[in-house]
Chain A
């Protein structure tokens, strides 16, 4: 069976700079694949290439066997690839609940004319989405902040809301860009448990960028290491931990 996500020889160039250099990787359903490497290694660029936010110069990205690297970000998202953002991509003026509702956007079956005419079906679709969003927040134990504007939430709560929002449509593939940044240690552990559960119980494929190495080692099935835009390792965590190339990438070319 083909992998859920297949990145094949993807290269991204900005002018003369090659940010991602012929990288290939695969993420299967229910698999957690971590993407690590020093700053500037091209991790986020690769993410953006998958989610359609930067143009792929060369190579292919396929999702469920379908090429997606020429699609726009919203088309890719609608196909079931959802992501979070490194610097927090929440809608600050919207509440936690409304944020999750935006995450559900493609699933809310309400038409403009139906809404304007006050049709029952449209109203009920909106109400059902609201109920679903509340339930999701409850499941992830942040239901008590549902009506708080996202900008007023704590860092940990914001991370959780962003993950819930990305998850709301139960996408087959989730891209998490440094979800643990700014989280206290116990929150990190909790986040790790959430990630494992999503993969194991719901069969979601997860591509994870993370600097918190202990989190990476504890949750991932496979670790891909990037350095200067090139893939230098792709193996289970314990193998990668012992890999000389990886050590060099991190310890600075000594």
Chain B
């Protein structure tokens, strides 16, 4: 009997298997699943900067927020249908990514760049709060129901299918970037920047590129947020949100595309269950990350990688 060849193509079965899901879930459960889907691009983009490029960046919530606000403002103020705001949201995220990464061109590295991203993120959050005519200030803004090609996505199930397409697209595109000379350059910079430059890699430009790609993917996650939650407020993009995103990539697996997906699936449902207890999220995720660093530094993805080589992250194409 011929053995079934296990290849990466089999990963396509995962989204296919998910297709009938809305038939079995009520609106609330479907909402939670959509939330998980939304955190896949958020985690992926974050992981490119932190895991692949190896930079402790605090600006991820800023990119997330930019995406959400771009979608929200375009839809609410200009009446643009939601699906047409997705790409602009990603591009604004990429632009913000470039802005956060620009000091890299000036030779700023390591924690200097990390501190820069922290200041940048807080500055943006301050803009959301203060630029009231556009953002609605502290109270935020309500976004009209999302629509695609003139169809309004009325149920969570409808959103699910659109989200699934977006998530698959982001996974595939990021996979293409990572499994090329670009992704290898990110990893090389993380491991040994001097040696990377000695291979002819203009490291500063690649740092900027990693930020821009991360910002793009996370920005798309932001536009999904606007569609899913329907309300965009500054408080959704604060440092408490950031710990959740850190938990996604740390628990899933730093520097692993698969890890970002797993992390989004296992982490993001949690806050739904203890929303009432202020501070519990920070405490729990703080402790969780400490445990992961000590006992499972490569995250859940590394457990899968031990099971079968198909789960090992590869940075080339055969």
Interface centre among B177, B182, B190, B209 (most CB of A within 10 A): B182
Interface flags for B200-222 (1: CB within 8 Å of A; 0: not) read: 11110000010000000000000
Assess whether A93 is in contact with B181, with CB atoms less than 8 Å apart. no
Q: A91: which of B173, B192, B197, B200 is its contact (CB, 8 Å)?
A: B192
Contact between A105 and B200 (Cβ–Cβ < 8 Å)? Answer: yes
8 Å CB contact of A106 from B182, B188, B200, B314: B200
- With A and B bound together, what is the CA distance between A165 and B185 in angstroms? 14
| Shortest distance between the CB of B207 and any CB in chain A (Å) | 12
Residues on B with beta carbons closer than 8 Å to the beta carbon of A108:
180-181
Is B241 an interface residue when CB atoms closer than 8 A count as contact?
Answer: no
Across the interface, A126 reaches (CB within 8 A) one of B180, B198, B255, namely: B180
Contact B198 A89 (CB under 8 A): yes
Contact status A89-B194, CB under 8 Å: yes
Decide: B317 and A105 in contact? CB cutoff 8 A.
no
Question: Are A78 and B200 CB-contacts (below 8 A) given A98-B184, A110-B180, A116-B176?
Answer: yes
The contact size tier of chain A is 35 or more
Q: Evaluate contact between A110 and B181: CB separation under 8 angstroms.
A: yes
- Residues of B contacting A75 in the complex (Cβ-Cβ under 8 angstroms): 202
Q: What separation, in Å, do the CA atoms of A42 and B192 have in the docked complex?
A: 23
Contacts of B314 in A (CB 8 A): 98
Most chain A CB within 10 A, of B176, B179, B199, B314, is at B199
CA distance A57 to B317 in the complex (A): 44
| Given A110-B181, A115-B177, A126-B317, also A102-B201 (CB < 8 A) | yes
Q: Is the CB of A97 within 8 A of B187?
A: no
Asked whether B162 is an interface residue with its Cβ less than 8 Å from the other chain, the reply is: no
- A residues 86-113 near B (Cβ < 8 Å) are 89-94, 97-98, 101-106, 108, 110, 112
B191 and A92 form a contact (CB under 8 A): yes
Residue among A101, A123, A169 facing the most chain B CB atoms (10 A cut-off): A101
- Taking a contact as CB atoms under 8 Å apart, the answer to whether A91 and B195 are in contact is yes
Tell me if A74 and B197 are in contact (CB < 8 A). Answer: yes
B199 touching A105, Cβ below 8 Å = yes
Residue B164 interfacial (CB < 8 Å): no
Does B198 lie within 8 Å of A94, measured CB to CB? Answer: no
- Measured between C-beta atoms, what is the minimum distance from B304 to chain A in Å? 17
- On whether the beta carbons of B317 and A130 are closer than 8 Å, the reply is yes
The interface residues of chain B lying within 8 Å CB-to-CB of A123 are 317
B200: A residues at CB distance < 8 A: 74, 77-78, 105-106, 169
Bound-state CA distance A123–B173 (Å) is 13
Q: Are B180 and A115 in contact (CB under 8 A)?
A: yes
Residue contact B318 to A102, C-beta cutoff 8 Å: no
B203 to nearest A CB, angstroms?
7
Known pairs A92-B191, A97-B316; A73 contacts B197 (CB<8 A): yes
The answer to whether B236 has its CB under 8 Å from any CB of chain A is: no
Candidates A89, A116, A130; contact of B173 at CB < 8 Å: A116
Interfacial chain B residues near A166, Cβ < 8 Å: 198
Closest Cβ of chain A to B305, distance in Å, is 11
User: A residues within 8 A CB of B194?
Assistant: 53, 73, 85, 89
Q: Which residues of A contact B191 (CB under 8 A)?
A: 90-94
Query: Given the known A-B contacts A82-B198, A91-B187, are A130 and B192 also in contact in the complex, defined by CB atoms under 8 Å?
Result: no
From 142 to 162 in chain B, residues with beta carbon under 8 angstroms from any chain A beta carbon are none
SS class, residues of chain A in contact with chain B: helix
A177 to B185, CA, bound (A): 23
Kindly report which residue of chain B lies nearest to residue A85, judged by CB atoms: B195
Q: B292 on the interface (CB 8 Å rule)?
A: no
A89 lies within 8 A of B195 (CB): yes
Q: Are B187 and A73 in contact (CB under 8 A)?
A: no
- Residue of B whose beta carbon sits closest to that of A109: B181
- Whether B176 lies near A73 (C-beta < 8 A) is no
Q: Does B243 contact A (CB under 8 A)?
A: no
User: Please, which residues of chain A bring their CB within 8 A of the CB of B197?
Assistant: 72-74, 77
Decide yes or no whether A51 CB sits under 8 A from chain B: yes
Is A105 a contact partner of B195 (Cβ separation < 8 A)? no
CA distance A148 to B180 in the complex (A): 18
CB 8 Å contact bits of B301-318 with A (1 = contact, 0 = none): 000000000000011111
- Closest chain-A Cβ to B58's Cβ sits at a distance in Å of 23
Is the CB–CB distance between A105 and B176 below 8 Å?
Answer: no
> Are the CB atoms of B177 and A105 closer together than 8 Å?
no
**Pair B317/A77 contact, Cβ less than 8 Å:** no
B242 within 8 A of A: no
List chain A residues, Cβ under 8 A from B87: none
Q: Which of A51, A53, A126, A129 has the most CB of B within 10 A?
A: A126
In the complex, 7 of the A-B residue pairs with CB atoms within 8 angstroms, ordered by the A residue number, are A78-B200, A94-B187, A94-B191, A102-B199, A105-B181, A115-B176, A126-B180
- Ranked 8 nearest A-B pairs via Cβ: A89-B195, A91-B191, A77-B200, A78-B200, A106-B200, A73-B197, A126-B317, A108-B181
Known pairs A77-B198, A98-B187; list 16 more (Cβ under 8 Å).
A83-B198, A89-B192, A92-B191, A94-B188, A101-B181, A102-B201, A105-B199, A105-B201, A112-B209, A115-B176, A115-B182, A116-B176, A118-B176, A123-B317, A133-B316, A169-B200
